């Protein structure tokens, strides 16, 4: 009798697990992805076409021309350096769950070790339409003596890149469904407002400049990174969120630097209080002689 019950329970578990797999496959297969090329060239278009083909079994890829029309209508000033609000508006205009921003080039390089060579690279941004967050960023490249050889190495990386994007988007979708809204906190008051009376803002005891990453330097990236931080009544950082992202290691540089700082908490009338603060960092390429 116990064997029969155990067998039934095993069959039920397998059936439930099968339903869960079927549900997840159905949900992700219906996930709508738009592929956008803000800076078109032959290399970018070819790379994007191949990536779309690799992603299509797992997601619903939206029509490129319709996605482009909606994207252009949103008029993003810096498409690779969006705020969360701008990214959400673009996603809503397109009607997608996530969108990919792709830029690819073939560059002539020179080094003491390799002399002259060619690098074929692609930068891929995966953005959530629901939150506006940059949920995935990666730079893939191939190097060779000849441009076509470098391009082949780049294109050979597409299957692995596609698998990584798929995993990241599925993880992000699950996280977004279960994520709780951030706690509401007071923000810095306007100088002339009643709330500014007898108010002292939070300040770091020592300001640290986020380093400009080598990856950003190699590709001459100029961008702005905005970060939102929650500082409690003891001066500890409880939450950080990049609210204008840039990729190329800039977001990580800002986040890591902020968390190294020690802060004096905000206070009003001598009483400390938690506070949400928005900080902005502007990055540009600095040549060695300018440093």
Low-confidence ranges of the chain (pLDDT < 50): 2-26, 289, 291
The rounded distance, in Å, linking the Cα atoms of 283 and 135 is: 21
Which fold does the domain 194-290 belong to in CATH?
TolA/TonB C-terminal domain (3.30.2420)
So what's the pLDDT on residue 288? 55
According to the model, what pLDDT value does residue 18 have? 40
- So what's the pLDDT on residue 128? 98
Contact predicate 217/232, CB 8 Å: no
Q: What is the pLDDT of residues 12-61, one digit of tens each?
A: 444 434 433 344 444 556 899 999 999 999 999 999 999 999 999 999 99
Residues 6+ apart with CB under 8 A from 153: 120, 141, 142, 143, 144
Three-state DSSP at 24 gives helix
The stretches of the chain forming alpha helices (DSSP H) are 2-29, 42-55, 64-74, 84-94, 147-156, 158-178, 214-218, 250-260
Residues 245, 247, 248, CA angle at the centre, nearest 5°? 145
Q: pTM, whole model, 2 decimals?
A: 0.86
CA gyration radius for the chain?
Answer: 24
* CATH code given to domain 31-178: 3.40.50.10610
Phi first, then psi, for residue 248 (nearest 5°) are: 55, 25
| Residues forming CATH 3.40.50.10610 domain(s) in the chain | 31-178
Which regions of the chain carry the CATH code 3.30.2420.10? 194-290
Task: Supply the pLDDT for residue 240.
Answer: 97
Which residues does 144 contact at the CB level (< 8 Å), separation at least 6? 117, 118, 120, 150, 152, 153
- Looking at residue 287, what is its pLDDT? 65
- What pLDDT score was predicted for residue 173? 95
């Amino acid at each position: 009798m116990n064997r029969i019950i155990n067998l039934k329970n095993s069959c039920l578990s397998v059936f439930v697990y099968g339903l869960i797999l079927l549900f997840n496959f159905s949900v992700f297969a219906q996930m709508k992805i738009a592929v956008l090329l803000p800076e078109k060239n032959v290399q970018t278009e070819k790379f994007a076409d191949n990536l779309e083909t690799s992603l299509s079994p797992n997601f619903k890829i939206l029509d490129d021309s319709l996605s482009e029309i909606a994207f252009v209508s949103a008029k993003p000033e810096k498409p690779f350096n969006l705020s969360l609000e701008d990214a959400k508006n673009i996603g809503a205009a397109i009607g997608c769950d996530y969108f990919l921003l792709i830029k690819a080039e073939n560059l002539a390089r020179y080094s003491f070790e390799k002399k002259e060579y060619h690098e074929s690279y692609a930068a891929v941004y995966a953005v959530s339409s629901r939150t506006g967050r940059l949920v995935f960023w990666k730079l893939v490249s191939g190097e060779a003596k000849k441009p076509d050889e470098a391009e082949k190495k780049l294109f050979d990386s597409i299957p692995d890149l596609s698998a990584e994007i798929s995993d990241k988007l599925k993880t992000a979708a699950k996280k977004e469904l279960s994520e709780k809204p951030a706690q509401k906190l007071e923000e810095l008051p306007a100088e002339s407002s009643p709330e500014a009376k007898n108010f002292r803002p939070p300040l770091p005891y020592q300001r640290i400049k986020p380093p400009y990453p080598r990856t950003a330097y190699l590709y001459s990236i100029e961008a702005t990174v905005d970060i939102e931080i929650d500082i409690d009544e003891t001066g500890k950082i409880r939450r950080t969120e990049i609210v204008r992202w840039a990729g190329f290691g800039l977001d990580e540089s800002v986040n890591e630097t902020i968390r190294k700082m020690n802060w004096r908490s905000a206070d009003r009338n001598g009483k400390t209080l938690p506070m949400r603060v928005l900080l902005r960092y502007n990055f540009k390429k600095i040549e060695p002689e300018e440093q």
